[in-house]
C-alpha cells in the first residue's frame, strides 16, 4: 500500500514538472511569436469600408485603396481575410454593417473612408471596443478610433494659383460635392489661391449635392464652360468624373479653345491628357499607409486626431500639364507659395468666414 502511494506521488510530481515545463516553453514562444500588430501569434491585418463613390471612383476611395494595397504588398500581406481587404458601400445604409462585418472578421484596424461615415464609425466603435478603427475626414472621439484630417485648403490654394495664372477669360468654376466642412476647406483654399494670384478673376461656385453622380458633374461643367469659364476645379469625388468627360468632349469638338479641368485627391491626369491642368492632391494613400504602419508597430493613436498638410506631404499639387501655355510661371509661383505656407508666413483660410478676411500680402 505504501509503495502504491509513493508511486502515485512520484507520478503527480512528474506530471506537474511536465506541465510547468510546457508552460515555460509557451511563455518563451510568446516572446518570439508576437505579431507586428502586438497581438500574440496573429499577423497584423487591415481593411477599409468605401464611401458610396466606390473603390474605383478615380478619386478619394481609390486613393485610400491604393494606399492600403501598397501597405499590404510592402509588408508581405495577402489580399483577403487575415491580410488587407475592403468592403464597398452602395448606400449609406451599408456603412455600419460593413464596418461591423470587418470587425467581426477580426481585422486589427478598420478604416471608414469619408466624412459621411462619422456616425457609423462611432456606433460600431462603441460596440466593438476591442477593435481599432480609423476615420478619414472626420473626428470621432472614442479611445479606439484614430481620426485622420487633412489641410485640404493648402492643396486647393495651390490649385487656385494655377487656375488664376492659366485662365484667359478671367472666369473659373468650382464644383463641390456636398456642403460639408471638408469641401468648404477645398472651396475656401481655392478661392484664396485665385485671389492671391489674380484678384480680378471671377469664380463660379456650385454644388452637386452628391459624390457619386457623374451626370450632375457633367451638367454643371457644361453650364460653366458655356458661360465663359475656361478652367474648372472639382472637389466632388466620382461626380467630378463628369467634369472630365465634358472637358474632353468639348476639346475634341473645338481643339483651339481652352477647356481646362483640375482634379482632386489623386493625380487625375489620366482623365484627359489634353484637358487636365493639374490636381489638388490629398494623399489619402499616404495617410492610410502611415497610420497602418503606426498601428502595426503597436503605436495606434487611439482617441487622437492625426493631421496631414504640406509639411507631412499629406497634400500638394500634381505636376502642371506640359501643354499649359505658361507652365514655367505657374511652377515658379506654386513653389514660392509652398515655401510661404510651410514657413508659416501665409495661413490659408479653411472656412468661408476666414476667407472674408484673407490677404496674401
Model confidence pLDDT, tens digit, residues 308-345: 999 988 999 999 999 999 999 999 999 999 999 999 99
With bands split at pLDDT 50, 70 and 90, how would you rate the model's confidence at 35?
very low
Q: Is this model's pTM higher than 0.85 or not?
A: no
DSSP 78: P
Cα 59 to Cα 231: distance, rounded to the nearest angstrom: 19
Residue 102 · residue 49 · CB < 8 Å: yes
**All domains of the chain in start order, with CATH:** 46-150+286-308 (3.40.50.2300), 152-282+326-356 (3.40.50.2300)
Task: Flag whether pLDDT at 34 surpasses 60.
Answer: no
pLDDT at 135: 98
pLDDT in tens, 187-245: 999 999 999 999 999 999 999 999 999 999 999 999 999 999 999 999 999 999 999 99
pLDDT at 237: 92
Which of 19-23, 148-152, 309-313 is predicted with the least confidence, judged by mean pLDDT? 19-23
- φ/ψ (deg, to 5) at 141: -90, 75
Beta strands in the chain (DSSP E): 46-49, 84-87, 109-113, 132-136, 145-150, 171-176, 202-207, 231-235, 260-265, 276-282, 305-308, 315-317
- Rounded mean pLDDT, 27-51: 61
Task: Single out the residue of 116, 167, 113, 87 nearest to residue 285, CA to CA.
Answer: 113
Task: Flag whether pLDDT at 10 surpasses 60.
Answer: no
Cα 33 to Cα 158: distance, rounded to the nearest angstrom: 48
Work out the mean pLDDT of the chain and round it to a whole number. Answer: 90
With bands split at pLDDT 50, 70 and 90, how would you rate the model's confidence at 1?
very low
**DSSP notation for 265-301:** ES--GGG-TTTEEEEEEE-HHHHHHHHHHHHHTT---
Cα 258 to Cα 262: distance, rounded to the nearest angstrom: 13
H/E stretch holding 163: helix 152-164
pLDDT in tens, 55-67: 998 888 999 999 9
pLDDT in tens, 85-130: 999 999 999 999 999 999 999 999 999 999 999 999 999 999 999 9
Amino acid at each position: 500500500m505504501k509503495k502504491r502511494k509513493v508511486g502515485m506521488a512520484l507520478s503527480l510530481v512528474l506530471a506537474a514538472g511536465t506541465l510547468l515545463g510546457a508552460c515555460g516553453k509557451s511563455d518563451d514562444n510568446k516572446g518570439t511569436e508576437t505579431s507586428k500588430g502586438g497581438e500574440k501569434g496573429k499577423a497584423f491585418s487591415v481593411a477599409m469600408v468605401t464611401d458610396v463613390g466606390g473603390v474605383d471612383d478615380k478619386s478619394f476611395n481609390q486613393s485610400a485603396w491604393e494606399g492600403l494595397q501598397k501597405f499590404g504588398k510592402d509588408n508581405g500581406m495577402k489580399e483577403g481575410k487575415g491580410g488587407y481587404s475592403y468592403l464597398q458601400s452602395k448606400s449609406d445604409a451599408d456603412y455600419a454593417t460593413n464596418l461591423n462585418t470587418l470587425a467581426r472578421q477580426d481585422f486589427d484596424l478598420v478604416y471608414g473612408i469619408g466624412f459621411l461615415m462619422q456616425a457609423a464609425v462611432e456606433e460600431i466603435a462603441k460596440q466593438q471596443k476591442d477593435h481599432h478603427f480609423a476615420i478619414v475626414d472626420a473626428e470621432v472621439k472614442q479611445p479606439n478610433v484614430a481620426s485622420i484630417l487633412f489641410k485640404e485648403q493648402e492643396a486647393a490654394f495651390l490649385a487656385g494659383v494655377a487656375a488664376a495664372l492659366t485662365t484667359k477669360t478671367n472666369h473659373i468654376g468650382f464644383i463641390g460635392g456636398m456642403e460639408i466642412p471638408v469641401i468648404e476647406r477645398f472651396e475656401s483654399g481655392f478661392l484664396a489661391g485665385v485671389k492671391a494670384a489674380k484678384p480680378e478673376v471671377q469664380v463660379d461656385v456650385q454644388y452637386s449635392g452628391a459624390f457619386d453622380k457623374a451626370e450632375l458633374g457633367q451638367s454643371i461643367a457644361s453650364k460653366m464652360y458655356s458661360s465663359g469659364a475656361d478652367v474648372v476645379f472639382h472637389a466632388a469625388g466620382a461626380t467630378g468624373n463628369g467634369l472630365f468627360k465634358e472637358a474632353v468632349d468639348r476639346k475634341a469638338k473645338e481643339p483651339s479653345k481652352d477647356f481646362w479641368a483640375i482634379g482632386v485627391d489623386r493625380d487625375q491626369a489620366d482623365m484627359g491628357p489634353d484637358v487636365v491642368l493639374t490636381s489638388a492632391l490629398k494623399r489619402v494613400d499616404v495617410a492610410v499607409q502611415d497610420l497602418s504602419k503606426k498601428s502595426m508597430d503597436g503605436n495606434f493613436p487611439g482617441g487622437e486626431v492625426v493631421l496631414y498638410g504640406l509639411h507631412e506631404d499629406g497634400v500638394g499639387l500634381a505636376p502642371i500639364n506640359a501643354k499649359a501655355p505658361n507652365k514655367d510661371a505657374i511652377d515658379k509661383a506654386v513653389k514660392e507659395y509652398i515655401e510661404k505656407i510651410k514657413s508659416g508666413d501665409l495661413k490659408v483660410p479653411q472656412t468661408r468666414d476666414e476667407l472674408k478676411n484673407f490677404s496674401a500680402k
